[in-house]
Amino acid sequence: MKLRGGKPLMNKKHIHHKVLILLLAQALSATVVDSPLFANERVTAIRGGDLYTITDGIIKNGTILIEGGKISDIGQKIGIPKDANVIDAGGKIVMPGLVAVSAEAGVIGYPNIEKIADSLDPFDFSVSLALASGITTAMVSAGRPSGSNPVGGTTAVIKTSYGDLDQMLVKESVVQPVMISNSEWLRKTTFKQNLRKAQDYLRELAEYQRSEDKKKSEEPKKPGGLDEYIRLLKREVPALISASTANDILADLELVDQFDIRMILTDAVEAWIVAEEIAKRDVRVIITPRQKVRPNEDLSAPSGSNLEIGAILRKAGVKFAIIPPSTSFETWGVVGRDLMALPMEAAFAVSGGLDEQTALEAITITAAEIIGVADRVGSLQVGKDADIIILDGHPFHHKTFVDTTLINGKVLYEKSKSIYFAHITHDK
Amino acid sequence: MRNICCYVLLSILTCGSLKAEGFGDGRYAGNHPQAALEAATEAIAIKADRIDTVTSGVIENGIIVITDGRIKAIGNDIEIPDVAEVIDVPDKTIFPGIVNPSSRIGLSLPPTGGPASNPHYRVVDELYPHQDQYKRILGAGFTTMGLLPGDRGTMSYYSGYGYFFGGRSPIPGITGQGAVIRPTGNNPEEMIVAESGFIMIYFQANDKVKKVIKSALDSAKNKANSDDPKVQPLVEALEGRIPTFVVCNLPGEMLHLFELLEPYDKMKPVLIAGIETHLVAEELAKRKIPVILPARIDFKRNTRTRINVPRLLDEVGVKIALKPESNSVRGHEDFLMQVAELVKSGLNRQVAKKAITVNPAEMLAIGYRLGSLDVGKDANLLILTGDPLDVGTKIDKVMIEGKIVYEAPWGQATDE
């Protein structure tokens, strides 16, 4: 079995963070007495709600304890410490913060940036809207492949920690955007040729490292401009490829067979037609159930979109995430087509026959797994980051509002204080 | 033929005499500042209804005695020297000349391009003294200007489609040495107060700009002096001998800026802010970074909820200076009215007065010689028909270093 979800990389980075945090805490304890770090040490308890854990079913009238920004306990019969900061979620639904596998938020839009960490904007208006929409983790990107170059641009996973730059970056360079398609033969040729070059180099390097007498042979020189390809071949990052037709999807799957790379297919409108083929290669898919594409009448095989795409992929065993047609946060235009209505998009998959559990997974744990952060977010489990949302109704109900949003155990959004939503109430 | 000659002769003579009169009484001094500068006498005494010193309270029925262009004495019971020319304005208010700490007025659009470090570049080298704009802003009460070596202009507003700026985007990075000038004079030398008044950084939160700024600053770090014209100005800035003006438009970018400037602890940064600066008010207060803001009521993003950012910054203890919203003459002419609007919606009146005089002077590191009406300071002052922040108030005369450089063209300004 091949590696999944980029976990090995993650762990290494994670350890660094932990060491840093420990050092920082030590330094602070020596100097500052009432630092915010210590305010966090107080236990937070969310009680009374129905806990949609995603990974372990629904816990009715349960309690979550949060310590040091992480979930420290979860269940029905849990004692709440006396001095705990208690959030009452009675009659409400508590679930992990939603994960958007693609979002335009939190990055200042300077062109040609190579490091997203240097351009994060915790005061971005979209970040505040993300909190109100229940989205606590998102993959953002900067730049894209240009000219005949099939690879380019960079990605990062961020938290929508409004106002807090230090908490924002989870992981940089999580997937490699690749732009190839049927209509762009030059890019595909370049992509395959470069993969072969990188493959040759890795083979020579492996031979050199295996050879007993390293002095006799010379270490092979790393060819320039192939870093992205080497990372793909080492399966450090998956390739993110836009492929909407079955034809394109099958052609991309061939690359998995040839080069054994990890792959995420996005805009995969016709994925339902080749679901079995996708499942065989363990390729992940990002879908938009509401998207409508007319069948191509010139083709003998099936084509076009299908509202049942979610249900069909699920049946074939394909792991998929759901995003709406627009990955921005908008206060204008047509309501419901952007990330402010992410659960609505998942609800459309349900209306096409998908079970609710898988639909919820597609905007939480599966989405987190696809962008390589499932070890930290995406479910209510002990040890995970306390990124939690409290809803005033079922996540798929159109009347439902996000009541409270927490990131790393800290309340960052309350509907009652929102200048946009506080005044909207329903008779339930 | 003879008649025509006579007419020509007569008209030349008439013109000449009119011109001479114009110079003599200083009436047209606003148009010919140099003539006025030469005509000044050694001692002047101003007797006024109110003298608003800004730093030391208001003096009713006060007297200011000026010698050699500086304030020699100020108060109620002051002896007026016998030789002094007395300006008796019993119905007027005296207020310090306005200081605009960051402007591009009279300068051309900056060049555009990728990030670069040009600390050797000096804005004084692009001065064009004979510009009508300078004469006109004198009439709006501006006696001191900080000129920026390259500026994007102030971010003016936000819409769903992105940020909008005035002017065009110059080269980010270290843009050069800013100057302090008086907007009067026939050549750059007469205008310049400080030719290398401050270093300017145009900051953007992205990897390339950060790298350019950091490597330039590091090249000057831990050096007492340098022979390199690209390094020495940065040494001055890093040692805190001159201030560093940093343009930074978004509050999110300011968090990146704080991190970037962390290692340079002696540097004296002054922030030229864009929009929503109140979101980092506490951080600015904690770091004691003074802020230059446009005199404008803003909207909360994507709402019609108004916010008074200067007020919010002042309330947490951030030192603020206000500047006109644009680099145009009109922007300068409307300035006092816009400051008055800020006061109307809650900005402390006294703070507002400081924010257009002594605070910007201190940010430009010339607070020791101008910005308020105190003994020893330059006699840069306005003779007004009332309080500077009352919208009906008119500017009657403007004085720079003891010389009247502007007089309202309608003569005695009245309330009509």
pLDDT bucket at B101, cuts 50 / 70 / 90: very high
* A240-249, A307-316, B151-160: segment of lowest average pLDDT: B151-160
Query: Which residue from B291, B367, B301 is spatially nearest to B323, judged by alpha carbons?
Result: B291
For chain A, state the CA radius of gyration. 23
Q: pLDDT for B133-162, tens place per residue? A: 999 999 999 999 999 987 544 444 443 333
Q: Are B358 and B371 in contact (CB under 8 A)?
A: yes
Do B54 and B199 lie in one domain? The reply is: no
Q: Is residue B17 part of a domain?
A: no
End-to-end alpha carbon distance in chain A: 49
Do B109 and B73 lie in one domain? The reply is: no
In angstroms, rounded to a whole number, what is the distance separating the alpha carbons of residues A264 and A247? 16
Do B129 and B75 lie in one domain? The reply is: no
| DSSP characters over A323-371 | --S--S--SSSSTTSSGGGHHHHHHHHHHTT--HHHHHHTTTHHHHHHT
Residue with tokens 């958007």: A100
Query: Which residue from B207, B198, B195, B146 is spatially nearest to B174, judged by alpha carbons?
Result: B198
Q: Name the minimum distance, in Å, from the CA of A129 to any CA of chain B.
A: 11
Do B206 and B196 lie in one domain? The reply is: yes
Higher per-residue confidence, B100 vs B129:
B100
Interchain CB contact of A120 with B (< 8 Å): yes
Give residue B18's pLDDT.
Answer: 37
Please tell me which of the candidates A108, A119, A419 has its beta carbon nearest to residue B305.
A419
Residues with Cβ within 8 Å of residue B186, at least 6 apart in sequence = B34, B129, B130
Q: What is the CATH number of the domain that holds B388?
A: 2.30.40.10
Q: Which two tokens stand for residue B238?
A: 């890093």
Do B62 and B156 lie in one domain? The reply is: no
Do B227 and B159 lie in one domain? The reply is: yes
Do B165 and B180 lie in one domain? The reply is: yes
Q: What is the CATH number of the domain that holds B155?
A: 3.20.20.140
For chain B, state the CA radius of gyration. 23
Minimum CA–CA partner of A111 in chain B: B206
Higher per-residue confidence, A274 vs A224:
A274
Query: Which residue from A301, A251, A298, A292 is spatially nearest to A269, judged by alpha carbons?
Result: A292
pLDDT bucket at B411, cuts 50 / 70 / 90: low
User: Is B305 in Cβ contact with A121 (below 8 Å)?
Assistant: no
Q: pLDDT for B225-235, tens place per residue? A: 888 989 999 99
DSSP annotation of B106 reads T
Q: Is residue B7 part of a domain?
A: no
Q: Is residue B251 part of a domain?
A: yes
Tally of CB atoms within 10 A around A323: 26
Q: Is residue B146 part of a domain?
A: yes
Distance set, CA B61 to CA A292, B87, B91 (Å): 80, 13, 9
Give residue A214's pLDDT.
Answer: 66
CATH of region A98-377, choose from 3.10.450.50, 3.20.20.140, 3.30.930.10, 3.90.209.20 = 3.20.20.140
Mean pLDDT of chain A: 89
Do B314 and B398 lie in one domain? The reply is: no
Domain of residue B134: give its range.
98-363
Give residue B325's pLDDT.
Answer: 85
Do B170 and B292 lie in one domain? The reply is: yes
Q: Name the minimum distance, in Å, from the CA of A418 to any CA of chain B.
A: 12
Give residue B95's pLDDT.
Answer: 98
Mutation site for A-interface testing, chosen from B163, B206, B284 by largest number of A Cβ within 10 Å? B206
User: Is B204 in Cβ contact with A110 (below 8 Å)?
Assistant: yes
pLDDT bucket at B11, cuts 50 / 70 / 90: very low
Please tell me which of the candidates B207, B251, B302 has its beta carbon nearest to residue A115.
B207
In angstroms, rounded to a whole number, what is the distance separating the alpha carbons of residues A381 and A59? 12
Q: Name the minimum distance, in Å, from the CA of B328 to any CA of chain A.
A: 28
3-class secondary-structure state, position B255: helix
Q: pLDDT for A121-149, tens place per residue? A: 999 999 999 999 999 999 999 988 877 78
Q: pLDDT for B111-124, tens place per residue? A: 777 899 999 999 99
Do B116 and B230 lie in one domain? The reply is: yes
- Judge if pTM exceeds 0.90: no
Query: Which residue from A28, A46, A5 is spatially nearest to A175, judged by alpha carbons?
Result: A5
In angstroms, rounded to a whole number, what is the distance separating the alpha carbons of residues B284 and B393? 34
Interchain CB contact of A186 with B (< 8 Å): no
Q: Is residue B158 part of a domain?
A: yes
Cβ contacts from A onto B, under 8 A: 57
Residue with tokens 């309202």: B408
Q: Name the minimum distance, in Å, from the CA of B267 to any CA of chain A.
A: 22
Residues with Cβ within 8 Å of residue A266, at least 6 apart in sequence = A102, A240, A241, A242, A243, A285, A286
Q: Over 50: is that where the pLDDT of A338 sits?
A: yes
Mean pLDDT for the stretch of residues A265-292: 96
Do B110 and B28 lie in one domain? The reply is: no
Give residue B21's pLDDT.
Answer: 33
Chain A residues touching B255 at Cβ < 8 A? 122, 165
How many structural domains compose chain B? 2
In angstroms, rounded to a whole number, what is the distance separating the alpha carbons of residues A287 and A82? 46
User: Is A163 in Cβ contact with B206 (below 8 Å)?
Assistant: no
Q: Is residue B9 part of a domain?
A: no
Give residue B286's pLDDT.
Answer: 97
Chain A residues touching B206 at Cβ < 8 A? 108, 110, 113, 118-119
Side chain identity at A43, as an amino acid letter? V
Q: Are A321 and A363 in contact (CB under 8 A)?
A: yes
Interchain CB contact of A110 with B (< 8 Å): yes
Residue with tokens 């410490």: A81
Show the DSSP H helices in B156-307 as ranges.
Answer: 188-191, 207-220, 232-238, 251-261, 281-287
Q: Name the minimum distance, in Å, from the CA of B108 to any CA of chain A.
A: 25
Q: Over 80: is that where the pLDDT of B275 sits?
A: yes
Q: Which two tokens stand for residue A328?
A: 């921005």
CB contacts under 8 A, A 393-422 vs B, are 419
Do B232 and B347 lie in one domain? The reply is: yes
Give residue B114's pLDDT.
Answer: 84
